[in-house]
Structure 1
């Protein structure tokens, strides 16, 4: 009975022109079959095959036929196909080892796309890594490939007993090696050979079965310093990275401690751009130049200021408040104090809007519930309605307050002239003296006229 009623209901919906959407079971899909052989046309079993799309990859499993890999239920679209197998170089469909040069494979609904791929024997880059004293070292080796647009093609760790490493399954092409020492105080992170940037690294031209790249690390240099806010209070958990001259990013970095101090180790001697930033993006990223040698550590201190939202953002995310005390009418160029409440026991940072202008950092009171903001209103502040905003930064957890507070003020234009403390114009005595002289001269002239008239 229930089935009959359901069928009648469905017929009624059709009669009314209502379309019933298909379920996920009827979603469009296609199939892909890949046959993989070696150069002698022998099937290759145990390969790892992937359909590569911008949003990820789909692994194709081997079927019962040796060297044949198939997958059904593939969403229609354009893919690239790669294949890897032990003893063979990575291959992309289109007879290339370069991903960018791979031929697109188009999968259509209800159709099977059949492909054939030929794999060639692998090439290998291998070698040993020793420290600056020539002893085997346990560290990380990264491989960069021109076949991948000079992106990372692999990463391995050296054998701690002999410092050996190897990258297998490589196709012919150009490669570069980076030895990353994880900020070792003794040995420097560097590109093969003794280079500080990928552009300066030695190219390994891989055209045969294997190539050897041995690396002896250079003795490391370091850079130290401290990070504070504008009232000299230390900022912790600020990351300071050292970008080598000519590079776009850093590999070695240091994080500030509770005293705001940082140390960046594992550096090749040379020139660097330092970049100080915090993960929460509360403070504006700041850069500075520094140089270091093994004998003389580089030093650089930072004074950070917060990122200030626009006035439009302040109106959306900020919370209007009333200060505990302080004026509502102010004059540009003059100094004023407001006491504000804040339950974060760290320093507060103030700014004036319409255009955000940073005014400084201010400490909480002993209880950590209020702060006194004493600022000078910029002399060029336009007359009219403005806001004073304040926000705080949790130096313990390094998580900024979610809310930014603000209160309105009225700004009068800076005065164009200033009276002396007595309230009189300093130019008056001189003008009065001139008038008295003129009056005295007139009196003498009148007296002489009277004498001559007699």
Structure 2
């Protein structure tokens, strides 16, 4: 077979097996969890390399052979060569290093690796000698990672649209020429040991770097292309460079200045005495209340925020937690202001202390205001004592429970100068039970935290109980205390839409049904622009809904799916009815634990390109088949 011979027509996809929930995968080093958001794809430290055995393959698959050279035509000894099937293509190394699908080149640059039955690309990279079958980190490599397939040789898997088909015949790929890395260097004045990011032109991060103590930086390991740099935003004004185009012979040179913006310097004082408000957490927020930053005052009550831009702000105690009640002072930053000052008078609140008796095991608690809002969750110390500071005048209720019972104590604050001793609170009242119906095997949670809708700002409560319904959809949640609760249910992985119910009043044991609607299904196939060739690896498609809906998917179980094998096909279930937007999955979601929802992003670290697809406005009132969704390669050199 001649070098780089194209495979058979992939409009008839090879039978790659998708990774579904519950599938067992042999991953001795690391799994797709480390690559779910795919910013690096690097493995954990492992023993020094021992080459895989070259035993006969019972599947009858042939070998891949070739030679790796540098730009001068000299053989590259010690390069790592991996055969990557669809589900591993974006990885920087092998998921399973016990196979013979990887090898290290000999003194003549030659290699021999086993084919993969699902179809494959050949990956060549500098070998991290301290890790088995793993590429050297981008910024430490002498050569770019090289991908070889029927389309040719490229520095990114995104530039490939086809895979080699597996065969019992050996495949000779000929000479693979690895390329030197490119870099961007320069000085960012005023940026001491500052994080700096190399960005693609679609505003996604390609690589991380850092300045030294003088603001100098050199970010290596980049593929040829056009990028820009971004820094600041944490105590400084966000900074971006102009676009810069680089290759190995023409590094990028960038110079800039990190502007520290306007400084807000001030003093927080006790409104009654004028004394400094020492070691008090002070918040800076936009005029609409959106928080920007917080810090603690000094022993003199002083504070200092930097990086402000012209606009309206408020500064003060904006979250419950200290000796002072909530209060803030407005601040205006005008054009040209280098420094503004503010004195923030704060009102010291009352405090209340309670002592718990008769507790068994773990104790959960919360202090509520007269409207039921949780002010302090779980402040109880090991000795069973809790003190709640910063209370304004009004009525409060303390709720606490252990594994056997609960107690409530309602009290009134009449004087801000008082320190109330609430005495002893016994947890001797029987805990409440919530029971009802939902979807079969759905998970039902009851919490006093504010989690509904799921995409609104989170407010923590002190109580949270979770149970799973049985096959008939019956659920029972024990261990509750009187109050207003959020009750929610999620039928994942079954085809039901999630739902949350706010302000469910539970003053005694009761029934409460949480019915789940059957979800709609969306299907489609990701193909390369102008072809019927499906995408070669498991990137994802996602459906998003307008914020603020009680039926919005949870952060743990977003409505997204990855393509199956090299078929390009995807299926998304659990879709609620309503208006939505469909598009490639590009948002990191750290809360996602279900392996079936892990996806690769349509980018490769250290490269300038990306795949994109047109977003689609959807009216979800039944099942939807999108047909072929075209992927367009952007930004690649």
Q: Flag the structure with larger Rg.
A: 1
- Asked if TM exceeds 0.5, the reply is no
* Higher normalized contact order (CA 8 Å, seq sep 6+, divided by chain length): 2
Range into which the TM-score falls when normalised by the shorter chain: 0.3 to 0.5
Name the TM-score, length of structure 2 as normaliser: 0.33
Query: TM-score when scaled to structure 1?
Result: 0.43
